[in-house]
Amino acid sequence: MNWGLIGYGEVTLSFIDGLKTVKDARIVAIASKSSHQYLVKKGLYENVQYFDSYENLLKSSEIDIVYVSTTNNLHFENVKQVLYAGKHCLCEKPMTPTARQTDELIDLANKNNVFLMEGMWTRFLPAYREFIKVLKSGIIGKPRLLKADFGFLNTWPKNRRLLNPELNGGTLLDNADYNIFLSQDVFNEYPIKIQAMASYAETGVEDACSIQLQYASGGIAQLFSSFRCETEQEAIVYGEKGYIKLKEYWHGTQIAIKIGEIEEEHKFPFKVNGFEYQIENVQKSIKNGRIENNFVSHSDSKNVAMIIDEVQNQIHKKQ
């Protein structure tokens, strides 16, 4: 399957490393307005065309699917361009900053009969899949409490992506969405209550966010994300009989299960860097004629976007 890439940043480099090892996957074109000259000069990739406009890349009849990894503020318009061009699309998360925009893109993908998925790559990792499998097996009993944290100490200047409001910066769209996607997987229903609070950077974006979700099943999720401090970055689900833990869960390779006094650990190393599993699964979906993926469905993206909308309303009204 032939891939075109729109955007060229740090996450794109990781994506490329993963894609290189996937059967029947190859990069045929890269479009980057900011890195075009650099790519042409360096010639880093063989048999790859470089474009300085996204429009020209989308005109290529060689391309089957486009991976969008521009900054958050550009995702909505970039994905629209891809879908209007009749290409399949994998968009780096968050697909959009709002539920309304997410709905619009999903409707457009359905109308044009092309594949669309938000790139929540964590859901495809072997340790994560085992984590969910064990959870659904009932071995720890009914899930009652999820605790998940994803914090790191930001050292980037405030004009860069994380803290820049013009680029849709802020912890909610950068790392809190991992927590929310996880919670939706654990409890598999839309929350009946959402509560959030945040602290703010000088630029006005939230640099730490605490979210609590309550579910009709009786489950509660306590979620924390931050640019202010390094945290364990782990997820733990407590059930009636025990718990299951996923260490460094957003890119984890190890789970721990404790039932009573017995605790077991299991390791699931990557073949490369983890991106390969998402790419393999996306290609499989497209080859099977699907326009969405089972692990990150359109409804998954809609529900998470709706939760983010509500959190945004709460934390920025309180500012």
- Rounded distance, CA 97 to CA 164, Å? 14
| Per-residue pLDDT, 318 | 55
- For residue 268, the one-letter residue type is F
Positions in the chain whose pLDDT score sits under 50: none
Contacts of 275 (CB under 8 A, 6+ apart): 14, 15, 17, 18, 19, 121
What digits encode the pLDDT tens for the residues 80-109?
999 999 999 999 999 999 999 999 999 999
- Rounded distance, CA 144 to CA 147, Å? 10
With residue 215 as reference, give the H or E element that holds it.
none
- b vs e for 206-229, b when ≥16 Cβ sit within 10 Å of the residue's Cβ? bbbbbbebebeeebbbebbbbbee
Please give the span between the terminal C-alpha atoms of the chain, in angstroms, as a whole number.
Answer: 47
What are the residue ranges spanned by the domains of the chain?
A: 2-120+276-293, 126-269
Query: What is the CATH superfamily name and number for domain 2-120+276-293?
Result: NAD(P)-binding Rossmann-like Domain (3.40.50.720)
- Rounded distance, CA 126 to CA 273, Å? 12
Q: Which CATH number fits domain 126-269: 3.30.910.20, 3.40.190.10, 3.40.50.300, 3.30.360.10?
A: 3.30.360.10
Contacts of 122 (CB under 8 A, 6+ apart): 128, 178, 181, 182, 249, 250, 251
- Rounded distance, CA 48 to CA 306, Å? 38
Give the 3-state secondary structure of residue 196.
strand
| Per-residue pLDDT, 32 | 87
Contacts of 70 (CB under 8 A, 6+ apart): 6, 7, 78
pTM (whole model) above 0.85: yes
With residue 24 as reference, give the H or E element that holds it.
none
With residue 189 as reference, give the H or E element that holds it.
none
Nearest residue to 113 via CA among 84, 133, 90: 84
DSSP label at 94? P
- For residue 190, the one-letter residue type is Y
| Per-residue pLDDT, 190 | 99
Q: Count Cα atoms within 13 angstroms, Cβ side, for 301.
A: 30
What digits encode the pLDDT tens for the residues 17-32?
999 999 999 999 999 8
Give the 3-state secondary structure of residue 56.
helix
